[in-house]
Amino acid sequence: MKYGSGSAAVDHYVNSEYDSVYGMSSQFAAIIAAHVMNRQTKLGISGHIAEIGTFEGRFFIAMALAMQPGERAVGIDTFEWPSPKVRDKLHSHIERLGVRPHDVTILTANSADLAARDITDAVGGQAGGQVRFFHVDGDHTPKALTHDLDLAYAVMHPKGVICLDDMLHPGFPLLTVAVYEWLKAHPDMRVFCVIDREDIVAAPKFMLCRHDAHELYEKDLLDSFPEWHFEAASQWEQWVAIVLTPHPRFAIVE
């Protein structure tokens, strides 16, 4: 399946080069994320992008290719797994795939040691120093996710989006509990979209924003991708979130 985000550079990368960058995020999720970034651009929401858990840059490059002039991409990773050479691979992919190295700051760090100031310093105070799209894909423990959510929340644009990876992953069941607890402590925030990986039974990403911003994104996503809408939706007690999946259906167990 060929995917389209509305950004020619992202679509070329995702449909033709994505597999050349080893990583874990799906093409489908990268396209939806880039679409949301394009939506932000159309709405005049400017700011930077950031990712915890950049690894070789598979998802990071898609986000960076959707940036506008003056915006920066901050990639954070310990770059220890499987070896420190992963950082060299990231830089070579960035140069090979059309991201301007000048627009990128790579921090070799454990996110647990970072504070909001480290992110705003990394973007050099440009465009207000706020992050409009923050992908969290680092340490998959509840404690670390809670810290990373706090970090993303502290630097996010008021109409920005925080995107969380590996929600509902069978290997990390407590991450969803951490998100639930974090949302209770941050009643201004909600999950507005669940992006499935490649199938309804796989581990999706959640996209979060403030309650007063979700209407900026939801209808646009449903209008743009009606064929990927799982109509039963995602239940969050006080609200529902939309679900986008390449194969909308209930799982069939044979």
Give min distance, CB of 236 to ligand SAM, in A.
25
Residue in 35, 39, 58, 132 binding ligand SAM, rule: CB under 6 A: 58
Residue in 129, 138, 204, 246 binding ligand SAM, rule: CB under 6 A: 138
Residue among 51 and 71 whose Cβ is closer to ligand SAM: 51
Q: Which of residues 60-89 bind ligand SAM (CB under 6 A)?
A: 76-78, 80-81
Give min distance, CB of 147 to ligand SAM, in A.
9
Contact letters for ligand SAM, residues 92-121 (x by CB under 6 A): ------------------xxx---------
23 lines the binding site for ligand SAM (CB under 6 A): yes
CB-based closest residue to ligand SAM: 23
Q: 3-state SS string over the chain? A: CCCCCCCHHHHHHHHHHHHHCCCCCCHHHHHHHHHHHHHHHHCCCCCEEEEECCCCCHHHHHHHHCCCCCCCEEEEECCCCCCCHHHHHHHHHHHHCCCCHHHEEEEECCHHHCCHHHHHHHCCCHHHHCEEEEEECCCCCHHHHHHHHHHHHHHEEEEEEEEECCCCCCCCCHHHHHHHHHHHHCCCEEEEEEECCCCCCCCCEEEEEEHHHHHHHHHHHHHHCHHHECCCCEECCCCEEEEECCCCCCCCCC
Residue among 55 and 134 whose Cβ is closer to ligand SAM: 55
Residue in 139, 150, 199, 218 binding ligand SAM, rule: CB under 6 A: 139
Give min distance, CB of 20 to ligand SAM, in A.
12
Residue in 11, 71, 137, 196 binding ligand SAM, rule: CB under 6 A: 137
Residue in 59, 134, 182, 206 binding ligand SAM, rule: CB under 6 A: 59
Piece of 20-28, 38-46, 92-100, 221-229 that binds ligand SAM (CB under 6 A): 20-28
- CA–CA dist 193, 48 (Å, integer): 21
